[in-house]
Amino acid sequence: MIWQSTFSPRKLNIFSFYKELLQFFISDNVVVQSKRCIIKKNELFNELITAYMHSYNIYHLHPILRRYIDCIWVDQFFDQAANKNKPHLIIPDKTVEVIFTQDTVHRELKSGGDIQKNKTHLSGLKTKPQKIRLNSSPIICIRFKAHGLYTFTKVKASEVVDRAIAPLDIFGKSFEQFEEQLFEANNITEQIALVEHYFFEKLKEFDFRQDYSFEAILHKLELSKGIRSIQSLAEEFNVSIKTIERKFSHHLGVSPKKYSRILRLFHALQTQSFKPDSKLVEIAYECGFYDQMHFIKEVKHFTGMPPTDYLQSDRVFQQPIFTSLAN
């Protein structure tokens, strides 16, 4: 296998991780045990190597924009024959994304309901598991921080939670030309320049509006990985709990309690110890859950299945987000 890469200051290098992963799987017959199965390393390799070696590349924007936009990412995951037109699990991951594609994206809440069919679209903050299906990889994707969207639009955050929406309805008519230019760009460098120009103009349009107190409260909550109580945050910032609830509803579209739950679970699924031989009780206490049963209940709520089933599920597509490499 030959790897070729053009590095830039903004591109996150994940190839050292690939090397480490390959070295880990050199031996064949070592097994990983769980309560339900014994998996050979070389069998587990097939799942993980697919997850991490599908040309997933991250590019960061200007520092001012990084306050609101986490990154641009591109990959070729859905260009692989094994992944085309196949449903893939998506769970809450504290992101909001604009997906640029000329293909039709099918999104369905895992609990059932209407299938949303869109081409280029904004995927709002997720609080429920989804299934996603398409025939080719997006051209490019913009990943906002959970609170980043409110800076660039007047649309209420609650209107995009768990939904896929046409970007024209979010950003206005200017988005049409922006999308066309992105599709016509010759390379990722041109695309980054277009993204930066477009969203800098949006910042000017909305006069760099910021809610500093909300961002400070959110920052403290995220630093705690969702463990801080809303009461303690209210006391630290000398505001009422109702004020915090109102700010979260306005800027994120969810309550602070709901977002705390998403953060805790994200951290738990991201931790190095969450693997088939994990002791769930240790993860539960490490990540701020009351006990093992509380952890299992939360995993089931946000993924639609208990931890043991989630570990064996098709979670390949989203795997890079649940590593420190993408954050």
pLDDT tens digits, 154-178: 888 999 999 999 999 999 999 999 9
Say if residue 233 is in the same domain as residue 303: yes
Per the structure, the complete domain to which residue 76 belongs is given by 58-205
Say if residue 199 is in the same domain as residue 295: no
pTM for the model: 0.80
Determine the average pLDDT of the residues in 127-155: 90
Say if residue 66 is in the same domain as residue 182: yes
Structural domain includes residue 48 = no
pLDDT at residue 276 in the model: 59
Position 14 confidence tier, pLDDT thresholds 50, 70, 90:
very low
**CA angle (270, 9, 12) in 5-degree steps:** 20
Structural domain includes residue 45 = no
Among residues 317, 73, 298, the alpha carbon closest in space to that of 192 is found at: 73
Say if residue 199 is in the same domain as residue 67: yes
Say if residue 62 is in the same domain as residue 201: yes
Q: What is the 3-state secondary structure (H, E, C) of 57-69?
A: EEECCCCCHHHCE
At residue 9, does pLDDT exceed 60? Answer: no
Of 71-80, 222-231, 262-271, the range with the highest mean pLDDT is 222-231
What single letter denotes the amino acid at residue 205?
A: E
Provide the domain count of the chain: 2
Lowest mean pLDDT among 12-16, 149-153, 170-174, 238-242: 12-16
Say if residue 182 is in the same domain as residue 288: no
Say if residue 194 is in the same domain as residue 301: no
Structural domain includes residue 20 = no
Using the 3D structure, point to which of 146, 171, 205 is the last residue of a domain. 205
Using the 3D structure, point to which of 156, 182, 205 is the last residue of a domain. 205
One DSSP character per residue, 275-303 reads STT--HHHHHHHTT-SSHHHHHHHHHHHH
Any idea what the CATH number is for the domain that residue 217 is in? 1.10.10.60
Residue 316 CB contacts under 8 Å (≥ 6 apart), including other chains: 47, 50, 51, 77, 83, 88
